[in-house]
Amino acid sequence: MSKTKETNQSWGGRFSEPVDAFVARFTASVGFDQRLYRQDIRGSLAHARMLARTGILSDRELNSIVQGLIEIEKAIEDGDFVWSEALEDVHMNIEARLTDKIGITGKKLHTGRSRNDQVATDIRLWLRDEIDVIADELTRLQAGILELAEKHVDTIMPGFTHLQTAQPVTFGHHLMAWYEMLDRDFGRLADCRKRLNRSPLGAAALAGTTYPIDRHFTAGELDFDGPTRNSLDSVSDRDFAIEFCAFASVLMTHLSRASEELILWASAQFNFIDLPDRFCTGSSIMPQKKNPDVPELVRGKTGRVNGHLIALLTLMKSQPLAYNKDNQEDKEPLFDTVDTVRDSLRAFADMIPAIQANKAAMREAARRGFSTATDLADYLVRRGLPFRDAHEVVGSAVAFGVKQQRDLAEMSLDELQTFSPQIEADVFEVLTLEGSVAARNHIGGTAPEQVRTAITEAREHLSGR
Ligand code: ARG
């Protein structure tokens, strides 16, 4: 086995031989955790200021640490920072560079902390920033749905159960169902943010530290709601990342359902909608094709997000207190979940308000599918028939219509009366699609009046966020 030339300086004292070159590569995380550099520096600045306030560092030492860290951040941003695998992770890379720059004072930064509370702080800060971006994208998507729903408050389409035509609904009502799903997702995200927003800094390796640190100060500097309460828990649990991934899985599941509907609706068979060309691709062999790639990919990406949730749950399962190196494996699934969710939301938020609905095709599909059959049954109930008998009567009328290839509204009064003498001329009002949706006029119903109210309330709700 080959050996690296030098022992890692951060713990050289205890070791009699350098770490194996392969092991150095196997245990290193800098290839991916360098993504945390901004949060790592922010955490170090807060820690250093606290050390100076409590007299552990002098003001002169603080100034040179602050100066050094600011320069390092700039070097990273400018692409002038060389990351070293031998230095394992983002934390030791930055600390080693600081010591190179400012000398012995750099070595004092790590007083009263450990990489264990450092990384726990960094991921929380990083995820909190990402949550805020995702919350904005989610809000933008919800607003886009409202925009499209508003245009289609009284556009009639078939509502489905079992993907069979069930009852007429309005397209606006259908879109508002998506809005509701996403609104609960937003609630889950906000809830996750609230719980993660505690500072683990000061938990040190696992038991706390003997230095007179001020955890409230560092928590405040980093905009946390306060310090965490137990040092062992602080450095070890990644439940906040699991919660985020659970939120992400449910969100992606919702987006996959909407995707599936968009894909169906855009097909020649449904022809309910037209997706803007800029969100579709063609086929290299079939000139007529316009493929709904964006919703298909969002549907497909749900798989990897669900996988990452399982990865994190399995990573955490059975881990004894406190920190274990297993936790280094939390980052890649979390990063990829964030990237996937951000991209998927962006694609949806751009695409949804640009959708064109084919109202005539939607209406025709609702008309063809005997979607007002329940309305006829309800009509007969209002005339005194028990619901089960009414159901039977309408069933026979539908069977007749299927044979004749005619909708209920296209039958004559005489024909309808052969199924029940209770049917009179006013029946045609309930057999129209407009009459059917307008009649479902209560909170949560599909009547245009209700959908309009739901949209107005949703607008107010979003503007208060
Ligand atoms: N790179 C490590 C991680 O991501 C940092 C913490 C390492 N702590 C340790 N005791 N080895 O978890």
Do 17-111 and 116-151+163-210+230-363 have matching folds? no
Q: How remote is the CA of residue 1 from the centroid of ligand 1, in Å? A: 25
Q: How far is the CA of 115 from the centre of ligand 1 (A)?
A: 6
* The model scores a pTM over 0.85: yes
Question: Is 337 touching ligand 1 by the criterion CB < 6 Å?
Answer: no
- Give me the mean pLDDT over the 401-407 stretch: 92
| Cβ of 115 less than 6 Å from ligand 1 | yes
Residue 75 Cα to ligand 1 midpoint, Å, equals 24
Tell whether ligand 1 has an atom less than 6 A from the beta carbon of residue 29: yes
Ligand 1 mutation pick, 116, 117, 234, 319, max ligand atoms within 8 A of CB? 116
Higher pLDDT among residues 288 and 78, named by residue: 78
What does the alpha-carbon distance between residue 265 and residue 158 come to, in Å, rounded to a whole number? Answer: 12
Regarding the beta carbon of 121 and ligand 1, being less than 6 Å apart is answered: no
Residues 250-282 have pLDDT tens digits of 999 999 999 999 999 999 999 999 999 998 888
Measured from the CB, is residue 204 less than 6 Å from ligand 1? no
The catalytic residue among 58, 84, 267, 283 is 283
Query: Of the listed 2, 162, 318, 412, which one is catalytic?
Result: 162
Catalytic residue check, 16 = no
Whether domain 367-463 has CATH 1.10.40.30: the reply is yes
Phi, psi of 435 (to 5 degrees): -65, -40
From the options 1.25.10.10, 1.10.275.10, 3.40.720.10, 1.10.600.10, give the CATH code of 17-111: 1.10.275.10
Average model confidence (pLDDT) for the chain?
A: 95
> Cα–chain-centroid distance for residue 9?
41
Give residue 397's pLDDT band: very low, low, confident or very high (50, 70, 90).
very high
Question: How much of the chain, in percent, has pLDDT values that exceed 90?
Answer: 91
- Alpha-carbon distance 297 to 255, whole Å? 11
CATH of span 116-151+163-210+230-363: 1.20.200.10
User: Which of 422, 444, 448 has the alpha carbon at shortest distance from 435?
Assistant: 448
47 given a catalytic annotation: no
Query: Which pLDDT belongs to residue 368?
Result: 84
- Asked if pLDDT for residue 2 goes beyond 50, the answer is no
Domain boundaries along the sequence of the chain: 17-111, 116-151+163-210+230-363, 367-463
